[in-house]
Structure 1
Amino acid sequence: MNLVARSIDAPRFASLADFGGNNWNLDAVQAPDVWARGFTGQGVTVAVIDSGVDITHPDLRDNIWINLDEIAGDGVDNDVNGYIDDINGWNFGIGQNNANVSPGTNNSGQEHGTHVAGTIAARNNGSGNTGVAPDAKIMALRLGDVADGWFVNGGSLPEAIRYAVDNGARVINLSLGSADSPQLQSALAYAASRNVVTVSASGNEGLLSPGAPARYATQYGLSVGAVNRERSVARFSNRAGGSPRLRHVVAPGVQIYSTLPGNSYGFLSGTSMATPHVAGTVALMLSANPTLTHNQVRQILTDTAVG
């Protein structure tokens, strides 16, 4: 992977034989080439702001972020961060506002966050799927409950972004859409100011430019579109638009195999599925060179991206 090599001023990494099959997505982002050099996302926490994560899934449970400054179940805000018993993250859902980060319903849309998390950091254990950064940690931030692809009690995305930054995430995966607001822009600016990289789905409407929050990649983080096995941009994927300032890349997002709640696996498609490939790639870059700034990550990715 040339961009991770560039992160450490090394020659281009050697290309290994493709895995193929359900792992075509890992081949496409050249993740195994980076693992062979010893960079697997170790030491990097990726926040997944989504529908919740099945933190007991066998391919995820060893890679779930743990807040070591909090004591589980004692009803006390031990680390004085404003959230009680936030051991693995927080549920920002309206009317919830609690530490339950697992998918809250059996609606098919609730599986979204678990699938995203697996693409980023499912363990390389010979079963199921393997994430792009299989030794990164996942901070699970749930925005509430989902029905028919929409949050029915969606909590504050800006608050969730700020939580991720303040509690040690280096990368934030935003496989979602949001309304524009000054609060959202402020939160994205805050993340960038702390060298936290936000990675946002461009959207699935087949439009010429991305929706929010990806449209803010003119200044903050990255916008991600989806490609298929043939590396053609998916019909549903929003494009980059006309702004030369937009930091937009593409990644595998069609029929991606990853973790699902209940110790299972399955295929999903969308720019939501492309985004975690880029978040995982950023985790690989930061595990290779933790000193990279927000702007350096954006520059390297968009200068060396293929496809």
Structure 2
Amino acid sequence: MLGGNIRSGTNTRHLLGATAGALGALLVLGQTATPVVAADIPDFRPDQWALASIGAQEVWDGTQGRGATVALPGVSVDEEHPDLRDNVQIDTEFGANGDDDEQGTAAAALVAGHGHGRDADGGVLGVAPDATVLVLPTDDDLPDAIRYAMDEGAQIILLPEETGGDEELIDAVAAAAGGGALVVGPAGGDEDPNVLSVAGVNEDGELIPDSPEASEIDLLAPGDELRTAGQDLGQTDVSGAPYAAAVTAGAAALLTSQYPQLTPNQLREAMVEGSQQGPDGLPTLHVATAVSQASGVAEDIPLVDEDLAQEEDTGVPVWMWFALVGVVLVLILLSLVLWVRRSSADPYGVKAERAAEEEELAAERAERAKAEERPSRRKKGGRRRKTK
């Protein structure tokens, strides 16, 4: 399960009556005018200091994460939470989606919360509100869940915990990274080069308590008092490296959505190189500059593999030519058969009528011929001439 802290004071609301009918209405985010907030649907976005800190809203005009999938293996998530509904896909291949979902729901909303209510003017937002979160609950099969996430096409995989020297888990992470996924996880424990290890900072830019040593940290991100989705259709505040990693996974979703041609290593470098300097000289996530960094790399990389395109453009394969010729010959043969059958058919009975007439004429001719050939005979009892 995800580590970190969750404040006991959870903001809860119950949506009744007309409020329930407003849950499905969403508006394109990042608009300049602030919508009027309904009295019974509190808007917690002003409390989400992390979004402003990393400059997420500065890039929402260009991308909000549409088309990007972030996998969350090893956690359960409340897919019916109004801040997450329709952005979450639950796959129970490796375990049931249980009721112990507070930490998973919080992480998922930090990645892809979309708010709720009329014009999406209530609730909380994630870094990539249009991204998809693939949840793979499991208690004891995290390595296979990670491999499954890669096979399902997740571009980013958010680990719930450090690999901790687990060889099977390390091998699964290596396979996912080699298969084209950026693996993000909380910093701490043994260093894993295939994981972008993230630690948390507070609103003042300082490392949060219990942070690992600088040598174990690849990137810093907001990880203290983060307002996000909670249980009972409410909101809560969370702190810890796993939630800083969730913020980073959301940022990676924005980048991969806008520049899908970049490899996991290039996405990682864009976020690290396009960062701001944090405590102890460590890089601190800043989405706006990371997008600029990714743009410079992506302009030299075509969206389509040109070598593959040339291979595919060499012409139609020989077997396909033979198949096409065979189909044409079959069609021609069928056409000839149909033509012959139609031309030899007598649909109106003309031939039968003519044959009957010819048979009748032949019978009449035969009767005449027989009458002409019959010999003339003298009748008996006739008178005889006397001789003199």
Q: Same fold (TM over 0.5)?
A: yes
* C-alpha distance after superposition, 1:144-180 (max 9, x if no partner): xxxxxxxxxx312211110110112110111323442
Deviation at 1:305, TM superposition (A): 1.7
**Distance of 1:126 and 1:302 partners within structure 2:** 32
Q: Which runs of 5+ in 1 are unaligned?
A: 1-15, 66-87, 144-153, 203-209
Are residue 280 (structure 1) and residue 265 (structure 2) matched? no
Q: Which residue of the partner structure matches residue 207 of structure 1? A: none
Paired position in structure 1 for 2:175: 190
Asked whether the equivalents of residues 221 and 298 of structure 1 are also in contact (C-alpha less than 8 Å), the reply is no
| Cα distance, 1:91 vs structure 2 | 6.0
Instruction: Note if 1:290 corresponds to 2:285.
Output: no
CA distance in structure 2 between the aligned counterparts of 1:170 and 1:132, rounded to whole angstroms? 16
Whichever residue aligns with residue 293 of structure 1, its letter is: T
C-alpha deviation, 1:21, in angstroms: 3.8
Q: Percent identity?
A: 34
Let me know the Cα RMSD of the aligned residues: 2.1
SS in 1 for 2:214: coil
Q: Distance in 2 between matches of 1:126 and 1:185?
A: 42
**Residue deviations 1:66-109 (CA, integer Å, cap 9, x gap):** xxxxxxxxxxxxxxxxxxxxxx21263xxxx3xx32x334xxxx
Contact 1:20/1:27 (<8 A) preserved: no
State how 1:1-307 maps to structure 2 within 5 Å: 21-36=46-61, 38-65=62-89, 88-90=90-92, 92=94, 97=95, 100-101=96-97, 103-105=98-100, 110-124=101-115, 125-143=120-138, 154-202=139-187, 210-211=188-189, 215-216=191-192, 219-241=193-215, 248-306=218-276, 307=278
Larger radius of gyration: 2
Structure 2: distance between partners of 1:278 and 1:302: 11
For residues 269 and 293 of structure 1, the distance between their equivalents in structure 2, rounded to whole angstroms, comes to: 30
Q: Distance in 2 between matches of 1:140 and 1:281?
A: 18
Q: Report the AA paired with residue 142 of structure 1.
A: P
Instruction: Tell me the matched-pair count.
Output: 232
Return the alpha-carbon distance in structure 1 between the equivalents of residues 214 and 168 of structure 2: 23
Is the CA contact 2:200–2:224 (under 8 Å) kept in the aligned structure 1? yes
Partner residue in 2 for 1:74: none
Note the C-alpha offset of 1:220: 0.9
Secondary structure, in 3 states, of the residue corresponding to 2:180? coil
Q: CA deviation at 1:130?
A: 0.3
SS at match of 1:296: helix
CA distance in 1, matches of 2:180, 2:250: 16
Alpha-carbon distance in structure 2 between the residues aligned to 1:119 and 1:232: 20
Task: Name the CA distance, whole Å, in 1 between partners of 2:271 and 2:162.
Answer: 22
| Post-superposition offset of 1:128 | 1.2
Q: CA deviation at 1:49?
A: 2.1
How far apart are the structure 1 equivalents of 2:134 and 2:142?
15
Between the aligned partners of 1:254 and 1:247, the Cα distance in structure 2 is 16
Distance of 1:127 and 1:156 partners within structure 2: 36
- Report what 1:9 is aligned to: none
Equivalent-residue separation in structure 1 for 2:232 and 2:45 (angstroms): 26
SS at match of 2:224: coil
Question: Which stretches in structure 2 are left out of the alignment for 5+ residues?
Answer: 1-31, 34-43, 279-388
Change (3 A) 1:253 1:181: same
Deviation at 1:261, TM superposition (A): 2.6
Structure (1 or 2) with the greater helix fraction? 2
Counterpart-to-counterpart distance in 1, 2:74 and 2:149: 12
Partner of 1:8 in structure 2?
none
Name the structure 2 match of 1:70: none
- What secondary structure does 2:134 align onto? strand
The two structures have a TM-score, normalised by structure 1, of: 0.71
